Structure 1
Amino acid sequence: MVKKGRQSYLREVSDQIKSKEAKDYVSVELDYHIKQAKKEWINKGLNEADAEEKAVGQMGNPITLGQQLNKLHRPKVDWLTVILLLITLGLSFLPMLSLNNNFSDDSMNMRYYSTHKAIFVLLGGTVAFGMMLMDYRKLEKFGWLFYTIGIIILLILSFFPTHFVNGISVIKVGPLTIESLMVIPFFFLAWASFFNDIRLKIWHLSILFFVPFYLIFTIPSISTAYIYGVMVFVMLCWSKFSRKTILKTLGISISSFLIVCIIFWQTVAPYQKHRLEVFFNPEQYPDSGGYMILLLKELLSKADWFGNSMTNEFIPEGHTNFVLVSLTSYFGWSFAIALVLILSLFVARIVVITRNIHHAYGKLLLIGSIALYTVQLVTNIAMTLGFFPLTSMSLPFISYGLMPTLFNAFLIGVVLSVYRRKDLVSSCFITN
């Protein structure tokens, strides 16, 4: 009978809550508070039955409380991030206007580009929406599974590639191209779980880091290794470890990284070596590797504040890695600056959300999302302006491509998922 009274009260409260996630959360938390209050009354001398009756009564009217908790803990949508996503996906079609000259070839005409871009955007929006609806907290226990999937993909890419694109191993299955960037979401989810696991020591994590790092270098994909390394080290800085341990780990890791780079310099594809060599002296290679750097400088120097819609300069990779150059040349510096500011708003918004998240796993996911998104944005801009060696790095959401679009949509979806449940991981309850 005692248990039934408490359970009846919990059911009445839960009946007022519409969201199943919030219903389950409130039931568990409210039951805990009732039990705590019951213990206090027992300590004051009441018997168990009277103590529970007092504890339940202390919670207030179940219908009123349920309605209050329904408002407080209902899943929320971060409309600001959603609006930013929709605006950015819309802006991603603008390169079509600036790349008419690039699509003179029948194999890459405007219709082909437009159709596929629309498909990519639709799929990206679907991924973001799907991730928002998914309860991110359920992913934490699958950290080892995600890590294993990432390792398997890297092993297949390393030893059983079907094609090579610019010297990098890929696997083509029909229209789908499996590349190294596909492993980053799996390792992202895995590391958020690892850094929240108190059983794992720093030496465990070091081994877990270097195994995929080594495999990525064997593909070889410097850009993926770069993204992976930045992601892990940024998440490490917000992990459970002490500042001293983090600094020590960073020092050892950076030293090890330099050693690995020296060793693997011999295995890096010739074109990748050439990119680094010409970065510092492009004028010495005007007809080879330095041509692209000099061309980008020339195009940006010719661009004015409001663009030139009559330009017909052919820009290699002007719809992918160098899309910002195309847009700057066509629409002008004013548009380019505005676009960068819009893309940067994602980072600012995620930072604001992170400050209000107290769930450790959720916060690590947000930190990782910031790292993964920012490293692409900053690197692409720096590469465009000549401050970073030329590499394969997309401008988030703007560059053409299925994988970059899905990858960044996945990150935003994770952010929306964490925000949606930010009130389902607190201990705030309204009591009468």
Structure 2
Amino acid sequence: MPHAARMEEFIKIVCEQIRFKRARAGVARELMDHMCDQKQAYCWQGLEDTEAEKKAVEQMGDPVAVGMQMDLTHRPKPQWGLFVLTAALLLVGIGLQWALFGQGDPSGQLSVTLIAAAVGVLGMAGAYFADYTVLARAPLVIYWIFLAVSFVHFACLPIINGAGQRGTLLFLLFPAVFAGVAFHFRQKGYGGLLASYGLMALGVLACMRAFSVRLGVLILIACLLLLTLMVGNGQFRVKKRWALPLLYLPVAGGCAVFAWGYWGRLMTAFSSEEGLGYLTTVTRQLISGAVLIGPGTTADSLARLPELDTSYVLTFLIVKFGWIPFFLVVGLFAAFFGYAVFRCLRQTGLLARMTSTAILSTLLIETLFYLAANLGFLELSTLPLPLLSYGGTGLVLHMVLIGFLLSVFRCGSMEGPAPYVSQESGRVQVADGVLSIRFKGFKGPLK
């Protein structure tokens, strides 16, 4: 029988028993590595190559039985807890929109919410069954297509005050797209880090210029967090003491330039009579009259806040229904993010961990921004609250993001463990499972 034909035939029979096709490649690679190691051990014992291969395959046992066992252990893992929490938050959001718009719904906004929820469920299902590893197979193609679609969308939208008014939230998908880009450039040293940083900056600046500064800040924080974790884990094979300043000094400089140009407007955040500080002051005044449960003393003044259904849903909840319902909703969000972070940390595959980190950080930062605005700490309310605030496109995009996150958790364990990469260059390094030792002054092969 030809060289390695027995092992290949064994692996083929095993993989035919595994119903989840995306798990077959990992199983085949694992079995081949194991049999090659065993074959090498037999060769060291003095057996011929053909006989060593035969014994290595026989030692594995019956391929059908092995395949059936592999089928039991390599199955998708639905995250029912996150499904339930997502459904609960979606129902709370629909309930709040019903309370805001009333039973009659003369403007049809509640109908829009229900239609968006139905479309979002379909989008979530599609993302749930999608293969997240496509982000690693064609990262740059996906990146440029995303930017092209965003700008075509922007060009077709009405422009008000220099920004597109619809389609803004499309950039919520950018951190997930960027995770594939960063994965592509990992282990390529400072060149890979700078390439990733440049593509991140291009996307952030495009979002700020064409759509929303606040959304640009959100995706900047999410992408920077991802790059920071990769540098810290040694994925770029660079020195942290040089790489981290390289990441943050340009951002600090950009923030300084922005603050210099908009200093006067930024100062209105501390004013109670005009600009950014006005809405913050009104929000604090309204929630000061809230009670534990039931309408507060300031419930009749909620009309002072614009766009309650989109920008101040939680303020409405506090003033209209009390602090206890508010804390219950916050508890749902805390349970959702806590469980999601727990699942993210348990991912063994590098791409799975990076993708889930990108999506989770986007949703979490967005929620924290919204919470800060609705409690009167800072005016950031133009960003929506996932699953709760009104907006057809926003609701659909958030559900697609959550579906993609669930897809990662469903199949991430089959990606295989991420290779360990040494964080500092030196004489002894471990990378991709290979131990390398550099001897000072040694240039030739070891004999």
Bucket of the pairwise TM-score, normalised by the shorter protein: 0.7 to 0.9
Instruction: Tell me by how many angstroms 1:320 deviates.
Output: 0.7
User: Are the aligned partners of 1:22 and 1:75 in contact in 2 as well (CA < 8 Å)?
Assistant: no
Contact 2:178 2:200 in 1 (8 A): no
Does 1:303 find its partner at 2:286? Answer: no
Pairing of 1:14-413 with structure 2 (within 5 A): 14-100=15-101, 109=105, 112-153=108-149, 155-156=151-152, 160=155, 162-165=157-160, 167-170=161-164, 177-179=166-168, 181-197=169-185, 198-199=187-188, 200-219=191-210, 221-239=212-230, 240-241=235-236, 242-262=239-259, 265=262, 274=265, 276-282=266-272, 284-285=273-274, 291-308=278-295, 311-312=299-300, 313-314=302-303, 315-413=305-403
Three-state SS of the structure 2 residue aligned to 1:421 is helix
What aligned pairs does 1:413-432 form with structure 2 within 5 A after superposition? 413-426=403-416
User: What runs of 5+ residues in structure 1 fail to find an aligned partner?
Assistant: 172-176, 267-272, 428-432
Q: Which amino acid aligns with 1:229?
A: L
Change (3 A) 1:22 1:161: closer
Does the aligned pair in 2 maintain the 1:150–1:187 contact within 8 Å?
Answer: no
Which residue identity is paired with 1:185? Answer: L
> Could you tell me how far apart the structure 1 residues matched to 2:149 and 2:24 are?
39
Deviations 1:378-418 (A, max 9, x none): 11011111211244111111011123223322322222112
The residue type paired with residue 371 of structure 1 is S
**Residues in 1 aligned to 2:335 and 2:345: alpha-carbon distance in whole angstroms:** 16
- The change in CA–CA distance for 1:191 and 1:19 in structure 2 (over 3 A counts) is closer
- Tell which deviates more after alignment, 48-57 or 216-225: 216-225
Distance 1:19-1:316 versus aligned 2 partners, 3 A rule: same
Alpha-carbon distance, 1:25 to partner: 2.8
- Whole-angstrom CA distance in 1 between matches of 2:151 and 2:412: 37
**Aligned partners of 2:348 and 2:415 also within 8 Å:** yes
Q: Do 1:223 and 1:391's aligned partners in 2 also have CA atoms closer than 8 Å?
A: no
Cα distance, 1:231 vs structure 2: 1.1
C-alpha RMSD of matched pairs (Å):
2.7
For residue 195 of structure 1, report the CA deviation from its aligned partner: 4.4
Give the drift of 1:331.
Answer: 1.8
- Length, aligned pairs only: 404
Once the 2 structures are TM-superposed, how far is the Cα of residue 168 of structure 1 from its aligned partner? 4.8
Instruction: Provide closer, same or farther for how the CA distance between residues 338 and 65 of structure 1 changes in structure 2, counting only shifts above 3 A.
Output: same
Conserved in 2, the CA contact under 8 Å of 1:144 and 1:190?
A: no
In 2, Cα distance between equivalents of 1:139 and 1:206: 17
Shift of 1:140: 1.0
Stretches of 4+ moved more than 6 A in 1?
Answer: none
Instruction: Tell me by how many angstroms 1:60 deviates.
Output: 2.0
TM-score normalised to the size of structure 1? 0.85
Closer, same or farther in 2 for the Cα pair 1:204/1:24, shift >3 Å? Answer: closer
Q: Which residue of 1 aligns with 2:426?
A: none
Distance 1:16 1:154 in 2: 43
One-letter identity of the residue aligned with 2:176:
F
Aligned-residue offset at 1:77: 0.6
**Which runs of 5 or more structure 2 residues have no equivalent in the other structure?**
418-447
Higher RCO (Cα < 8 Å, 6 or more apart): 1
Between the aligned partners of 1:30 and 1:390, the Cα distance in structure 2 is 52
SS of 2:164's partner is strand
Amino acid at match of 1:251: Y
Q: Post-superposition shift, 1:30? A: 1.5
